[in-house]
Structure 1
Amino acid sequence: WFIAHTFEETIDRLRHGRVPFRAASFFRHTERAGVDSVPLVGLVSFFLGLTMALLTGYQLQRFGTERLIPGLVAIGFTRELGPLLTGIMLAARIGAAFTAELGTMQVSEEVEAIEAMGIGPLRFLVAPRMLALFFLMPCLSTVSNISAIFASSLISRAYFSIAFPYFLDLVKDALLIRDIITGVLKSLMFGLLISAIACYRGLTVKGGAAGVGTATTSSVVTAITTVIGVDTLYNIVYTTFFPT
């Protein structure tokens, strides 16, 4: 209902020909959630790509199938690890920040002051944060995928003598358009869920400064658990209806 109410307030404002929130607010959250998160997402994914390629490569080499490394890493990150890893990192980094910001505004009665001025807090405070994370998640997941695939190409060249041009050919042969679509859909869902949970926890804070800390912790734990749960459910449904 929280997402629906935010969407309803925003659309209602647009329907009356008015701007639902300040563009500067949207771009500020976009910069912090997107641009500032690129180094973290890229670095963690790079290291994980190295590890994944190295460990799976030695196992595959025992059967003479080390040429499967590029496709394995590409599909694994594009469909699963890229969106999931990015979602977990943003839940901890950006979700916590959203909850702390809105929670502080709530306990200091800034949210009440905004409501007293006739401004809806959902469309003014929540909508720009939600839209920023919704649109940025696929971009950050792409950064994660590229970093991991590049890392696996280095391992493939150094340890398994797979040249980079051949590596790219193997990736292109293994990766299907549905793998990319699956990754994008997951990213969009995770971005929406993380921002909604973080903002909801922030706006429902009670108990002063201690309440803000409790809400922030709860926000991160809930968001990460939800992301993993939704990812698992998506995979079960997908493999049930599209087994091939």
Structure 2
Amino acid sequence: MADPGWVKAGSGDHGQVCQFGGGWTLAHATALNAELSALKLRPDAVTFDLSAVEVMDTVGAWLILRTAEAAAGEGAKVHWIEPPEAVLPLFKRVLEAGAAPEAQRSRRVLFLDWLADLGAATESVGKDSLDLIAFFGALVETFGRIIARPRRLRWVSVVSHIERTGLNALPIVGMISFLVGVVLAFQGADQLRRFGAQVFTVNMVGISVLREMGILLTAIVVAGRSGSAFTAEIGAMQVNEEVDALRVTGLDPMEVLVAPRVLALMISLPLLTFFADIMGLLGGGIMAVTLIDISFGQYWRILNSAVSLNTFLVGLVKAPVFALLIALVGCFEGLRVSGSAESVGRLTTRSVVEGIFLVIVFDAFFSVLFSYIGF
């Protein structure tokens, strides 16, 4: 085992000379760091002589390099006398990599920096939006070819995705809608009791569930459940180059992968919305019967007079649009996956966020539109 490392400072023909020797390894790092901290370097010219170094690892090389960079930062010109051949390759590798950066001081974020970040983010969002619109155009073209030649559509795949996105989602959608109906009835009755208008809890539950809560919560659940699944499945195929294999064999990924998923979700989501509406009204009814002291027969009669067919259709009309948005974003982000599994996880998360965001934006648009036309 080599002797502990040492460093000596002296004068030479070209300014100060720092001679290093012994073993510059992790085992002696604490003592070596103390010696280097006590070293007084002149801000003119310094020569680092490593010819006497016997053993060196990356920690020792980093300590020497850090000292050299500190001298250079003070204005000194640093010259090197390389170590012996046994340790020269490792030292050069560390020298090329550079010393580990010091902890950067937190600096005040200037307005222009914030403005530049905002501009870059806006540009990125704009580009992604244009790409998504182009993807929607490609999907419309694909459905045009399928309508012209229905045999091009893989109906087995459509039915399989209907089962996965619709039938298998019934338990979670039903439970959430039931509990939301319970919460709406409980909160509504509690607030309306102050005005002696508890009976209007039924009206509130019926209109809220049928117009907004049923479809909105169902779409959010489907975005997190099925939208992410679309991205992960297609993304994994991208990583494994299966999508490229489809193209090589003459198959269009839009027809094989995207169209069945979009069509299946556009069929499943309206059915899930209808189921969610029933479960939400059932949960609200149970809570209303408990709190307001009315019978189920009275609850359904009041509900029938409070809501109309238009109220039910307002929520149901949104379902195919939301399904198109969720499936479109899920497949779009899946086909953008590249490189590694890390990209799959990142874009899967992104597809869920984008899907929910678009659902809420379009829900707000529909609310304003239906209010404007009196529907």
TM-score by length of 2: 0.63
Contact (CA 8 Å) 2:146, 2:153: kept in 1 or not? no
Contact (CA 8 Å) 1:53, 1:152: kept in 2 or not? yes
Aligned partner of residue 19 in structure 1, secondary structure: helix
Measure, in 1, the Cα distance between the counterparts of 2:152 and 2:262: 13
Measure, in 2, the Cα distance between the counterparts of 1:116 and 1:205: 19
Contact (CA 8 Å) 1:9, 1:120: kept in 2 or not? no
Deviations 1:80-99 (A, max 9, x none): 01110001000001100000
Q: Does 1:31 align with 2:163?
A: yes
Aligned counterparts, 1:62-211, within 5 A: 62-211=194-343
Deviations 1:118-169 (A, max 9, x none): 1111111101100111111111111111111111111111111111011001
Q: Which has the larger radius of gyration?
A: 2
> Structure 1 residue runs of 4+, over 3 Å off?
none
Contact (CA 8 Å) 2:211, 2:314: kept in 1 or not? yes
Name the structure 2 match of 1:228.
360
CA RMSD of aligned residues (A): 1.3
Measure, in 2, the Cα distance between the counterparts of 1:30 and 1:13: 18
Sequence identity (%): 35
Measure, in 1, the Cα distance between the counterparts of 2:215 and 2:252: 32
Q: Which moved more, 1:215-224 or 1:147-156?
A: 147-156
Aligned partner of residue 153 in structure 1, secondary structure: helix
Measure, in 2, the Cα distance between the counterparts of 1:151 and 1:233: 28
Aligned partner of residue 195 in structure 2, secondary structure: coil
C-alpha deviation, 1:14, in angstroms:
4.1
Aligned counterparts, 1:55-66, within 5 A: 55-66=187-198
Measure, in 1, the Cα distance between the counterparts of 2:174 and 2:150: 38
Change (3 A) 1:4 1:180: farther
Contact (CA 8 Å) 2:142, 2:259: kept in 1 or not? no
Deviations 1:156-196 (A, max 9, x none): 11111111011001111111222122111111111110000
| 1:123 aligned partner, one-letter code | E
Aligned partner of residue 151 in structure 2, secondary structure: coil
| 1:39 aligned partner, one-letter code | P
Q: Which runs of 5+ in 1 are unaligned?
A: none
C-alpha deviation, 1:57, in angstroms:
0.7
C-alpha deviation, 1:50, in angstroms:
0.7
Name the structure 1 match of 2:13.
none
Measure, in 2, the Cα distance between the counterparts of 1:80 and 1:121: 35
Measure, in 2, the Cα distance between the counterparts of 1:35 and 1:128: 16
C-alpha deviation, 1:102, in angstroms:
0.3
* Higher fraction of helix: 1
Aligned partner of residue 152 in structure 2, secondary structure: coil
Aligned partner of residue 250 in structure 2, secondary structure: coil
Matched residue count: 242
1:217 to 327, 340, 349: 349
Bigger RCO (CA 8 Å, 6+ sep) = 1
Q: Does 1:21 align with 2:156?
A: no
Measure, in 2, the Cα distance between the counterparts of 1:159 and 1:84: 26
Contact (CA 8 Å) 1:114, 1:121: kept in 2 or not? yes
Measure, in 1, the Cα distance between the counterparts of 2:150 and 2:252: 13
Change (3 A) 1:12 1:146: same
Deviations 1:184-236 (A, max 9, x none): 11111111100000000001112210100111000000001110111112212
Measure, in 2, the Cα distance between the counterparts of 1:121 and 1:215: 18
TM-score by length of 1: 0.95
Aligned counterparts, 1:33-52, within 5 A: 33-52=165-184
Aligned partner of residue 206 in structure 1, secondary structure: coil
Aligned partner of residue 303 in structure 2, secondary structure: helix
Contact (CA 8 Å) 1:10, 1:20: kept in 2 or not? no
Measure, in 2, the Cα distance between the counterparts of 1:241 and 1:215: 38
Contact (CA 8 Å) 1:78, 1:179: kept in 2 or not? yes
Name the structure 1 match of 2:94.
none
Name the structure 2 match of 1:238.
370
Name the structure 1 match of 2:136.
3
| 1:85 aligned partner, one-letter code | L
